[in-house]
Structure 1
Amino acid sequence: MTETADDLSTPLGQDKPRRKRRLRLPFTAMQALAVLLGLVLVAFAGFAIFNKDPLGGEPISRVAIRESKPAAEEKAAPAATGHETKAASKQAVHGDQKTGEQKTVTIIDGSSGSRHDVVIGAGGETGDKAGDPATAAPAVMTGVDQRLLEKGRYGMIPVAAADMKPFSVYAADADRTKAAKMPVVAIMIGGLGVGAAKTTDAIMKLPGAITLAFTPYGADPAKLAERARAQRHEVFLQLPMEPYDFPDNDPGPQTLLTSLTADQNLDRLYWHLSRMQGYAGIANFMGARFIATEAAMQPIIREANKRGLGLFDDGSSPRSVAGQIASSQAMPFGKGDIAIDAVPTANEVDRALTKLESIARERGVAIGTASALPVSIDRISTWIKGLEGRGILLVPLTTAMLKSKSS
């Protein structure tokens, strides 16, 4: 009715104004955003499926390779910068210019397991990742006798040469005549190489007669071991071995396992041996099950003995067969008597050190083990100061091992 009245009141010749229609899209803004995100996801999935990248998802290591200059060119070159001097020093350590021997980096594909050897120059410097068998072995350490090294599948490993053995050549200096007449004590600090700070504390704060044992892990165990030898410490290499509660308690990559074949464990042994040089012997790192299994230990001890190394058992496994096997092969052997910091408090460490003295007086030789805890380093350092005045001589581990064998 209202609409009709409006029409009647409108002047003739004039139309009623029409309402403007709004432009409406067939979809909402949220729908458009959802479609756009969908297209992005489809594009990403297509790239991931059809892009053939053989290294996709695999760790990548970059190796800087420096070409060595001919001797004549080096003489004509100006004075080297600090960086160039460091590189030249490493080339001298390798010593390959004289022998012409090539260095190689073995790269292992993480998916297929295939190996690929990359030849590098004598002065090549490689990166290193803790516990990764695909990374290159460290450069040969200074002060290491080249005659006691041979090229293994993962790098340079120790070997006996003629009448020379690493156990004798890398043993720390000691007064053997005095040690034969007095009760002696040796201490091995283990687990080094992973934490640079605690390793440095052990190297610098403890006297050279303390033996330091390095695990094969860490950013650069070879460099730390070299520093230890520069401070006149004797060095041992710790091999990660299977404990009874493995894999809940895992010593780390390349652990020697009772479930592996002898060849598989030997392959892992060669990797461990190549992580550094200049050590007098090997020691177990954990490994209560492995060190108590004769079939597993036999090939490891036989190979280590053939290479002129000594063997140290930290004494943590009462079922260990290491001493029996080492004795049958006339291999230098030692066994820990007490874990000094099993309870890491000052009072308990002091009590353990007192017990170590008693064992030395009773048997003539006592060997203690400890880690590089601040409390351990502090209490051992204090205890050592008055040790000789109490009639006991502190000696390197190799000296105690030799005295144990002769007594």
Structure 2
Amino acid sequence: MAEFTKEIERPLGQSAGPRAPRAASRFSGGQIAAALAVLAVLGASAMIAFGEKPFRKPEVVATPAPKPDAPAETGKVAQATPANPAKPASSRPATSAEGPKIIRVQPVESGGQAGIVIQDASAVGQNLSVAHLPDKALIEDSETGPLPIRSADGRRPFDVYARPWSGARGARVAIVIGGLAVSQTGTQSAIAKLPGEVTLAFASQGNSIGRWMQEARRRGHEVVMQVPLEPFDYPNVNPGRNTLTVDATPDENLKNLRWVLSRTTNYTAVMNYMGARFATDTEAFGPIMAELGKRGIGYLDDGSSARSVAPDLALKDGVPLAVADTAIDAIQDRGAILKKLDQLEATARSKGYAIGTGSAFNVTIDAVASWVNEAKKRGIEIVPISAVANDPERK
């Protein structure tokens, strides 16, 4: 076969020599590498989108820490947890204490060394938030009800149930409104309207004394109990049931006194109701004052008898004593009552303090409430009766 030297002269379908081989792939090596890189990026994106977020910090979920069953580590203050939280270990008020109390306070944030606070509960009055709760250490059970007593460590109801006051040396006025629990509406009005600094006195002949006492204490009032004592012209003038008399034996009078004392709790002192004759008889009054001293109760003399032997007996038996300067509502007229209150203010500015007594009449309650608010603006401090009593144990 002739060799055709020119491509154009070559017959169709014939080739001048062996055909050059075709390319092994349609893509170059660079194109393939680029494609693989894209696939790698897409795969990594899928892992991030559907995986467990390996590049994020895990979210912290706050959960309450379980209470440790084991004791706290050495050097830290452990707080005991009662087995039954619904039943506290003691129903004693939080502010009461058996003598000086050492309280260790562990800093919560720093976890540093515990601080120490020494508190003497007998040096301060009862916390008003729990003032209506009796301190069991100051109660003696009796057939007629709870009787006040000194605690085993010597604390007195006179101190524990006292309303706190500033302790300042300025002019002080103590006002005592008596006759509570006799009239339910009058008692409710007195407790609601009178400022907490006013002392309230409960009549032993009254009703629901325990309930009214708790309400009065919740509102900040210091309270005292009124004891019926024999007046002149007795029994024509009769203070009521269980009156202490001159002719009764000491045991009979003590029995009647304890009945009065058991009518309620949480009071600092007792106050005479009438008693012009009884208050002048040392033989009759002596055992009564000794009983008050033994139980840690104060005595408030309404000042109606100039011959009262109460000051001498109280000093002898260690009884805190307060003697009233005047009765503010002998005349039940608002103007007359306000005038008496102004006289108390003048007395307080002269000798440092003054004491006035009254009864739970509507006119008295309204006048006292109004006067107290104005007297405070003039710099007069209205204080409980315990703040102005002469206390032989604190001399």
Q: TM-score, normalised by structure 1?
A: 0.63
Q: Give the whole-Å Cα distance in 1 for the aligned partners of 2:132 and 2:324.
A: 30
Deviation at 1:373, TM superposition (A): 0.9
Per the alignment, in what secondary structure is the counterpart of residue 368 of structure 1? strand
SS at match of 2:354: strand
Partner of 2:50: none
Post-superposition shift, 1:329? 2.0
**Distance in 2 (alpha carbons) for counterparts of 1:385 and 1:403:** 29
Residues 238-387 of structure 1 mapped to structure 2, 5 A cutoff: 238-387=226-375
Secondary structure class of the residue paired with 1:387: helix
Separation in 1 of the partners of 2:381 and 2:207? 35
* Cα offset, 1:173, TM superposition: 1.5
Task: Go from structure 1 to structure 2 and tell me whether the alpha carbon gap of 1:154 and 1:403 turns closer, same or farther (over 3 Å shift).
Answer: closer
User: Is residue 341–residue 376 contact of structure 1 (8 Å, CA) maintained in 2?
Assistant: yes
| 1:194 matched residue in structure 2 | 182
Q: 1:375 to 1:142 in 2, by over 3 A?
A: closer
Q: CA deviation at 1:155?
A: 2.0
Q: 2:157 — aligned with what?
A: 166
| Map of 2:142 onto structure 1 | 152
TM-aligned CA deviation for residue 186 of structure 1: 0.3
Matched letter for residue 143 of structure 1: L
Q: Any conservation in 2 of the 1:333–1:405 contact (CA below 8 Å)? A: no
Aligned to 1:123: none
Shift of 1:393: 1.2
Q: Is the counterpart of residue 232 in structure 1 residue 220 in structure 2?
A: yes
For residues 213 and 296 of structure 1, the distance between their equivalents in structure 2, rounded to whole angstroms, comes to 23
TM-superposition CA deviations, 1:252-307 (whole Å, max 9, x none): 01100101000110011111111111111111011111111111111001001100
| Distance in structure 2 (CA, Å) of the matches to 1:145 and 1:289 | 35
Cα 1:405–1:372 change in 2 (3 A) is farther
Contact (CA 8 Å) 2:270, 2:300: kept in 1 or not? yes
Q: 1:233 to 1:280 in 2, by over 3 A?
A: same
CA distance, structure 1, for counterparts of residue 331 and residue 319 of structure 2: 32
Distance 1:405 1:213 in 2: 24
Letter paired with 1:317: S
Q: Partner amino acid for 2:282?
A: E
Separation in 1 of the partners of 2:360 and 2:324?
Answer: 16
Aligned CA-pair RMSD: 2.4
SS at match of 1:401: coil
Q: Which whole-Å CA distance do the structure 1 matches of 2:392 and 2:281 have between them?
A: 24
How far 1:142 sits from its partner (Å)?
5.1
Residue type of the alignment partner of 2:135? D
Secondary structure of 2:246's match? coil
Matched residue of 2:283: which SS?
helix
Query: In 2, distance between residues paired with 1:174 and 1:233?
Result: 12
Partner of 1:118: none
How has the CA–CA distance of structure 1 residues 382 and 274 changed in structure 2, closer, same or farther, with 3 Å as cutoff? same
Alignment-derived partner of residue 124 in structure 1: none
Out of 211, 226, 230, the residue aligned to residue 199 of structure 2 is 211
Alpha-carbon distance in 2 for matches of 1:183, 1:326 = 25
Tell me, which stretches of 5 or more residues in structure 1 are unaligned? 1-90, 96-140
Q: What are the superposed Cα offsets for residues 98-153 of structure 1, whole Å, 9 maximum, x if unpaired?
A: xxxxxxxxxxxxxxxxxxxxxxxxxxxxxxxxxxxxxxxxxxx9510011001124
Query: What is aligned with 1:107?
Result: none
Contact 2:289 2:314 in 1 (8 A): yes
Match of residue 83 from structure 2: none
In structure 2, give the amino acid aligned to 1:329.
D
Unmatched 5+ residue regions in structure 2?
1-86, 92-130
Letter in 1 for 2:389: M
- For the 8 Å contact 1:194–1:221, the answer to whether it is kept is no
C-alpha displacement of 1:368: 0.2
Q: Is it true that 1:143 corresponds to 2:133 in the alignment? A: yes
C-alpha separation in 2, matches of 1:223 and 1:279: 13
Q: Distance in 2 between matches of 1:387 and 1:403?
A: 26
For the residue of structure 1 that corresponds to 2:228, the secondary structure is: strand
CA distance in 1, matches of 2:246, 2:218: 37
Amino acid at match of 1:160: R
Q: Give the percent of matched residue pairs that are identical in Structure 1 and Structure 2.
A: 40
Provide, for residues 179-230 of structure 1, a one-character-per-residue CA deviation record: whole Å limited to 9, x for no partner.
xx20110000011111111111111101111000101112211111111111
- In the TM superposition, 1:66-215 aligns within 5 A as 143-161=133-151, 162-176=153-167, 178=168, 181-215=169-203
Q: Which amino acid aligns with 1:251?
A: P
Contact 1:150 1:156 survives alignment (8 Å): yes
Q: 1:341 to 1:294 in 2, by over 3 A?
A: same
Name the TM-score, length of structure 2 as normaliser: 0.65
Which of the pair is proportionally richer in helix? 1
SS of aligned partner of 2:226: strand
Alignment partner of 2:388: what SS?
helix
Distance between the aligned counterparts of 1:405 and 1:350, measured in 2? Answer: 35
Corresponding pairs, count: 270
Task: Between 151-160 and 396-405, report the one with greater CA deviation.
Answer: 396-405
Q: What is aligned with 2:376?
A: 388
